[in-house]
Structure 1
Amino acid sequence: MSALTEAVGTGRSLIGTRRTPAGGHARAKAEASKPAWRLAVRAFSRDRMAVLSLVVLVVVALAAIFAPLLTSYSPVAGDPVNRLAGVGTDGHFLGLDGQGRDIWTRLLYGGRNSLLVAVIPVLVVFPLALMIGLFAGFRRSRAGEVTMRVLDVLFAFPLVLLAIALSAVLGAGLGNVMLAIGITLVPYMARVAYTATVQESSKDYVEAARAYGANPLLLMFRELMPNVVVQLLVYATTLCGLMIVVASGLSFLGVGVIPPTPDWGIMTADGKNVLLEGIYHVATIPGLLILVVSLAFSLVGDGIRDALDPRKQTS
C-alpha cells in the first residue's frame, strides 16, 4: 500500500480524520477496503460543478489542439471588406474582428497560447516549489530558513505587478511570458509546500516513524511528500485559472504574446478599440471565454480538494 493510500485510509491526510459514516461499521469497513483513488474519483464525480468544469476544460483543450479540423480560415489573414461583421455573419458565426479575421478561428488557435502560458509555468514550477518547501519545512536548517525569507521578500510585490515588470524587462514573446509567470509563481507555491510540510511534520504518524528510527530522507519522501503533493496539487490547479487571467492581461497590455499571433488577451485588446463604436462582440467573446476557463480551473481545484477529503469520500 502506498504512502498516499495509507495517509488517506488512516486519516492522516492533510484534510482531517476519517469518521465512521452514518450507515454503520459494516459500511465503513467496506469503504475503507476500496482503493483511495477510487474513493476520490467517486467523490469528485458527485460534485456536478467540478465535473462540468472539467468537461469544459477538456473541450477547450481539444478544440485548441484540433483547431485546423474545426475551421478552414487562417488565424492571421483577414477580410478587410467585411471587417467588424457581427455575430451570425454567413460563414463567420462569431463574426469578424477589426482586421476582418474570423473570431472563431482566432479563439481556437489563441487557446493554444493561452492554455500553454497558464499551464506550462505551473507544471515546471511545481517540482521546484515542492522540493524547496519539503527541505525548508522538514529540515528546518538555516539554509532553508534563509531561502524562505528570500522568497518572502517577493511577496512584497503583487503577483500581477511583478509579472508585468518581469515581462517588460524580458521583452514580449510567448517564451518570455512563461518565464516571467514561472518566476512569480515560485514563492507562492513554495510557501504552500513549506506550510504543508510544517503541518504534516507535527502529526502523529511522522512522530511514530521518527521514534521507529526511520531514515530522514525516506520519511520525507515516502511519508511526507505524498500528503504535501495533494495540497500543492489543489493550489496549482486553482493557480492555472489565475494564470489564464494574468497571461491574458499581459497580452492585453502589450507585454505578452506578440501580435498577430492569436491570443485571448490580444483579441480582447483589439476589441476595446471599437467598443465606443457600439461593436461589442470583438472584445466580449474572448473576455467571456477567459472568464469561463479561469472559473473552470478554480472549480476543478475545489472539486479535487473535496474529493481528497476522507469525510466526503464516505458520505
Structure 2
Amino acid sequence: MNQSGESLAPDIAATTTLRSPWRDFWQTFIRNPLALVSGSVVLLLIFIAIFAPWIAPYDPMSADWASLSSLPSASHWMGTDDLGRDVMSRIIYGARISLYIGIVSVTIGMVIGIFLGLLAGYYGRWVDMLIMRGADVLFAFPGMLLAIAVVAILGPGLNNVVIAVAVFSVPVFARIVRASVLSLKQAAYVEATRCAGARDRVIILRHILPGTLSGVIVYFTMRIGTSILTAAGLSFIGLGPEPDVPEWGNILAMSRSMMMAGYWHVSVFPGLAIFLTVLAFNLLGDALRDTLDPKMKK
C-alpha cells in the first residue's frame, strides 16, 4: 500500500506478463540454433514449392536443343539434361511434387493412425488386439517393400504413391498414440471426467487426444523426410509418376546413363536436393522433440 493508502496489487498485476505454453515453446525453440537452421530450410523449401512458376528460370518441360547435356554455366546454373531441359528448373518444380507427396501422405497416415491408436488404447481388449495385430503385420514388411507392394497393386502414378507412403505410416502413428493413451486414461482428471458422466467421445477428444499431440507432431515432422525419400525411391525404379514429370526420383532415374558418360551435374544436384530436404526435416523433428519434451528441456 502506498502513501495515499491505495493498494499496489492492481499495478503489479498489470505489469506482470502472463506466460502461455505457446510462448514458452517459442522461446525455447528460437534458442536452439539447430531448430532455427532446419526450420529456415523447411520454410525456404515450402516457399520454393509454392512460388515455383515465378522462381524457376525456365519451363521444366521445354527443351533447349542448342544446349543438350550442357554442364553448369551462366545461362543454366545447374546445366541441362540429355533433352536440353534446365536441371535447376526441374528441381524447383520437383520440390512442389516431393513436398506434396511427403506432407499429404504423412497427413493421411497420421489421421488414420491417430484414430486407430485412440480406439486401441482407450477401449483395449479385442479392439486393441485386432488393431495392434494388424499393425504388427504391416511392421513385418520393410517400409520400402510395403510401398512397392501397394504401388504394384494400385499401379504407378502420383496419387498411388501417396497412398502407398500413407499405408506404411499408419502403424507407427497408431502405436505412438496408443502408448500415450494407455498412460493418459489412468490420469486423475480423466477418471474425474468419467465419473462425472462424460461420454467416451468427449473424454477422448477433449482430454486424451491433446496429450498425445506432442509425440505425434515430432514424428509427423520426421516422417515427411522419410516419405520424400521413399517416394523418390519408387520413382527411381519406375513406380512413381510418369517419367516426364519433374520429380526428384524421376530426374535421378533419367540421369543414370548420363552419369556414366561424365555428366555428373544431372545426378548430383537432385541428389543434394533430396539429401538436404530429408536432413532438414529430420533435424527439425529432433529440435521439436527437444522443445516439447520436458525431460529434454531439463
Number of the residue aligned with 1:76: 61
Write the mapping of 1:50-69 to structure 2, written as runs, cut at 5 A.
50-69=35-54
Q: 2:173 aligns with which of 189, 193, 214?
A: 189
Number of the residue aligned with 1:16: none
Write the mapping of 1:123-138 to structure 2, written as runs, cut at 5 A.
123-138=107-122
The answer to whether structure 1 residue 48 and structure 2 residue 17 are counterparts is: no
Write the mapping of 1:251-270 to structure 2, written as runs, cut at 5 A.
251-270=235-254
- CA distance in 2 between partners of 1:244 and 1:32 (Å): 42
Q: Deviations over 1:129-151 (max 9, x none)?
A: 11110111011141332122122
Give the secondary structure class of the aligned counterpart of 1:267: helix
Give the secondary structure class of the aligned counterpart of 1:257: coil
Write the mapping of 1:13-32 to structure 2, written as runs, cut at 5 A.
none
The answer to whether structure 1 residue 99 and structure 2 residue 87 are counterparts is: no
Write the mapping of 1:141-180 to structure 2, written as runs, cut at 5 A.
141-180=125-164
CA, structure 1 residues 286+154, in 2 after alignment: closer, same or farther (shift >3 Å)?
same
Greater shift in the superposed pair: 278-287 or 73-82: 73-82
| Residue identity in the other structure for 1:128 | I
Q: RMSD value over aligned CA atoms?
A: 2.2
CA contact (8 A) 1:130 1:229 kept: no
Write the mapping of 1:269-308 to structure 2, written as runs, cut at 5 A.
269-308=253-292
CA contact (8 A) 1:241 1:295 kept: yes
Greater relative contact order, per chain length (Cα 8 Å cut-off, separation 6+)? 1
Identity within the alignment, %: 36
| Residue identity in the other structure for 2:79 | G
Q: 1:36 aligns with which of 21, 27, 48?
A: 21
CA contact (8 A) 2:119 2:127 kept: no
Greater shift in the superposed pair: 207-216 or 147-156: 207-216
Number of the residue aligned with 1:17: none
CA contact (8 A) 1:84 1:100 kept: yes
| Residue identity in the other structure for 1:255 | L
| Residue identity in the other structure for 2:88 | W
Give the secondary structure class of the aligned counterpart of 2:61: coil
Give the secondary structure class of the aligned counterpart of 1:76: coil
CA, structure 1 residues 272+139, in 2 after alignment: closer, same or farther (shift >3 Å)?
same
- CA distance in 1 between partners of 2:211 and 2:80 (Å): 49
Measure how far apart 1:196 and its partner are: 1.8
- CA distance in 2 between partners of 1:229 and 1:58 (Å): 22
Number of the residue aligned with 1:230: 214
| Residue identity in the other structure for 2:159 | G
CA contact (8 A) 1:43 1:312 kept: no
Number of the residue aligned with 1:216: 200
| Residue identity in the other structure for 1:52 | V
| Residue identity in the other structure for 1:73 | Y
Give the secondary structure class of the aligned counterpart of 2:169: helix
| Residue identity in the other structure for 2:78 | L
| Residue identity in the other structure for 2:233 | G
- CA distance in 1 between partners of 2:290 and 2:189 (Å): 22
Q: Deviations over 1:176-222 (max 9, x none)?
A: 11111112221121111112211323445444555666543332222
TM-score w.r.t. the length of structure 2 is 0.88
CA, structure 1 residues 71+154, in 2 after alignment: closer, same or farther (shift >3 Å)?
closer
Q: Deviations over 1:244-286 (max 9, x none)?
A: 1000111111101112010011111122222222221111111
Structure having the higher Rg: 2
| Residue identity in the other structure for 1:180 | A
Give the secondary structure class of the aligned counterpart of 1:74: coil
Number of the residue aligned with 1:199: 183
Number of the residue aligned with 1:239: 223
Number of the residue aligned with 1:116: 100
- CA distance in 1 between partners of 2:176 and 2:272 (Å): 30
- CA distance in 2 between partners of 1:251 and 1:129 (Å): 25
Give the secondary structure class of the aligned counterpart of 2:255: helix
Number of the residue aligned with 2:3: none
Give the secondary structure class of the aligned counterpart of 2:134: helix
CA, structure 1 residues 201+32, in 2 after alignment: closer, same or farther (shift >3 Å)?
farther
- CA distance in 2 between partners of 1:159 and 1:67 (Å): 30
